[in-house]
Structure 1
Amino acid sequence: MRNVENNRIVPERDMLLAACRGLPHEDHPILEAAGELAQLHEIRERTPVCEMAKLDRRRDQLVRSIDLWVALVIPVPSSQAQLHSETVGQLVDRLARLATEAFVPLSAAPEAVFYEAWVQLNELADSYQDLVDGLCDGARRLPGG
Structure 2
Amino acid sequence: MFVRDRAPIIEGAKTLPDQRELIAAFGGHPPEPGSEHPLIPLARVLADLHRKRHDDPLATAGIDCRRAELVSAIDTWVITRVPQRRSTAHIRAESIGATLDRMAAAYTHASHLLHTAEKVSDDRVHAAWYRLALLADQWSDLIIGAAQDNSRTRRSA
Cα distance in 2 for residues equivalent to 1:47 and 1:11: 30
Structure 2: gaps (5+ residues): 1-6, 151-157
- 1:83-94 → structure 2 map (5 Å cutoff): 83=90, 84-94=92-102
RMSD: 2.2
Alignment deviations for residues 7-66 of structure 1 (CA, whole Å, 9 cap, x no partner): 6231100110110111112433311111100100000012234x3221111100110111
Please tell me whether Structure 1 or Structure 2 has the larger radius of gyration of its CA atoms.
Answer: 2
Percent identical:
33
> Which residue type is aligned with residue 127 of structure 2?
E
- 1:1-145 → structure 2 map (5 Å cutoff): 2-5=8-11, 8-25=14-31, 26-49=35-58, 51-78=59-86, 81-83=88-90, 84-109=92-117, 110=119, 111-112=121-122, 113-138=124-149
Size of the alignment, in residue pairs?
Answer: 137
Paired residues of 1:102 and 1:121 also in contact (CA < 8 A)? yes
Structure 1: gaps (5+ residues): 140-145
Paired residues of 1:63 and 1:89 also in contact (CA < 8 A)? yes
Cα distance in 1 for residues equivalent to 2:104 and 2:88: 27
Instruction: Specify whether residues 17 and 81 from structure 1 end up closer, same or farther in structure 2 by C-alpha distance, changes over 3 A only.
Output: closer
Q: TM-score, length-normalised on structure 2? A: 0.76
